[in-house]
């Protein structure tokens, strides 16, 4: 059993957005559930991760709640992000779905609640009202959106009484997100990057291989460092392999040169988006 002295303090380094302190690195849970997820998450928490990303649609919030309890890390030291699924956007279902998330997470609050995709059966104004009411009811500390384009993000900010602290979107070296990043900066919000490994494409890049070798780091560490070294970005990472947890959390003890940052940014190329469900996705920027 690890004690708190073994925890890496660095993984809780936070991006401050208004009153929200978003740990720069989060552990994603998409596609994982049951005892295996619990084991992986306990290991992730004991190795220093302090931010967990889940969602109602992942059907694993109960496993996340169980892992937090088993880990021995105080709930208050962990930042939990979850997302309301589109079917629960109507006003009569929104609040009940948040209550179910709380029961499953075995927690009396959620650190960050997002709406998962902008296209649902209700307007963005109604989605944002559902988030705001969850804050007013004391169930949620911070709110945000996911998979919103620039226009939608600006609408969300306009409609909201509470700050929209992030827009969780796909972001990796091959995908140009400069427009969203600029809009996030101007509107004093953040971008939370998912799919950083571009479903494995990063591991094939000769440019990333060279930068990793020269910096004596793995490609995963280089990509995560590139993400979190940008001013308004929080990164999510996911692995089902215990040995990679240790690898992926070690991104706070080195810096990339400005030249390497720029070289990685220039890997962007058209047609690199991975996650694009036709019935849910907006017109991307
Ligand atoms: N809001 C949304 O619509 C949305 C959409 C997608 C994802 N997300 C969230 O974002 C999280 C992260 O995205 P993602 O799941 O696409 O994660 P990711 O970190 O981009 O990719 C995970 C993949 O990379 C591999 N990997 C991770 N670390 C590695 C390492 N050090 N070396 C080699 N391979 C490595 C993993 O394989 P192994 O498991 O074999 O290590 C896995 O196949 C999700 O889990 C979810 O929580 C949100």
CATH of the domain at 172: 3.20.20.100
Tell me, what's the pLDDT at 85?
A: 97
Specify the pTM: 0.96
- The helix (H) or strand (E) run that includes residue 21 is strand 20-23
Residue 228 in domain: yes
Residue 284 lies inside a defined structural domain of this protein:
no
- How far, CA to CA in Å, does 263 sit from each of 180, 185, 223, 239, 260? 20, 22, 12, 26, 5
Residue 253 lies in a domain: yes
Q: Are 159 and 181 in contact (CB under 8 A)?
A: no
Cα gap 58→273, rounded to integer Å: 21
3-state secondary structure (DSSP) of residue 211: helix
Instruction: Enumerate residue ranges in the chain where pLDDT < 50.
Output: 1-7, 9
Question: Residue 93 belongs to what domain range?
Answer: 2-265
Whether 275 is in a domain gets the answer no
**Could you tell which of 203, 233, 239, 275 is best to mutate to test the pocket of ligand 1, judged by most ligand atoms within 8 Å of the CB?**
239
Q: How many domains does the chain have?
A: 1
Q: Residues of 86-109 as b/e, b for ≥16 C-beta within 10 angstroms?
A: bebbeeebbbebbeebbebbebee
Residue 10's pLDDT is 52
Per-residue model confidence (pLDDT) at position 120 = 72
Sign of the Cα torsion 24, 102, 152, 272 reads positive
Show which residues are catalytic.
58
CA torsion through residues 249, 251, 252, 254, sign = positive
Residue 69 domain flag? yes
Pocket test residue of 30, 145, 212, 243 for ligand 1, highest count of atoms within 8 A of CB: 30
**271 Cβ contact partners less than 8 Å away, ≥ 6 residues apart:** none
Distance in Å, CA 102 to ligand 1 centroid: 24
* Backbone φ and ψ of 90, nearest 5°: -55, 145
What pLDDT shows up at residue 3?
33
Asked if residue 285 belongs to a domain, the reply is: no
Contacting residues for 23 by C-beta, under 8 A, at least 6 apart: 11, 12, 13, 14, 50, 51, 79, 234
Identify the pLDDT of residue 4.
Answer: 34
Question: What's the CA gap between 221 and 216, in Å, rounded?
Answer: 10
Q: Ligand 1 in contact with 60 (CB < 6 A)?
A: no
In a domain, 224, yes or no: yes
CA of 117 to the centre of ligand 1 (A): 18
- Residue 272 covered by a domain: no
Give the separation between CA 50 and CA 248, rounded to whole angstroms. Answer: 13
């Amino acid at each position: 059993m690890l004690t708190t002295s073994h925890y890496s303090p660095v993984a809780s380094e936070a991006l401050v957005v208004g009153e929200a302190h978003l740990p720069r690195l989060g552990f994603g849970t998409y596609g994982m559930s049951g005892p295996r997820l619990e084991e992986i998450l306990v290991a992730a928490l004991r190795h220093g991760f302090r931010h967990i990303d889940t969602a109602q649609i992942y059907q694993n919030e109960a496993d996340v709640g169980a892992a937090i309890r088993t880990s021995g890390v105080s709930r208050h030291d962990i930042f939990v992000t979850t997302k309301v699924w589109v079917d629960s956007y109507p006003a009569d279902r929104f609040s009940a779905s948040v209550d179910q998330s709380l029961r499953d997470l075995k927690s009396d609050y959620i650190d960050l609640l997002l709406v998962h995709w902008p296209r649902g059966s209700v307007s963005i104004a109604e989605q944002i009202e559902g988030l705001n009411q969850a804050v007013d009811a004391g169930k949620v500390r911070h709110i945000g959106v996911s998979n919103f384009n620039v226009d939608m993000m600006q609408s969300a900010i306009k409609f909201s009484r509470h700050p929209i602290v992030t827009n969780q979107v796909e972001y990796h070296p091959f995908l140009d997100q400069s427009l969203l990043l600029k809009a996030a900066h101007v509107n004093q919000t953040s971008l939370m990057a998912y799919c950083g490994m571009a479903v494995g494409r990063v591991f094939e890049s000769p440019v990333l291989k060279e930068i990793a070798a020269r910096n004596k780091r793995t490609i995963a560490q280089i990509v995560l460092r590139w993400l979190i070294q940008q001013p308004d970005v929080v990164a999510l990472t996911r692995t089902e392999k215990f040995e990679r947890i240790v690898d992926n959390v070690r991104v706070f003890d080195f810096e990339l040169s400005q030249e390497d940052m720029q070289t990685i940014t220039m890997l962007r190329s058209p047609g690199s988006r991975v996650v694009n469900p036709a019935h849910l996705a907006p017109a991307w920027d």
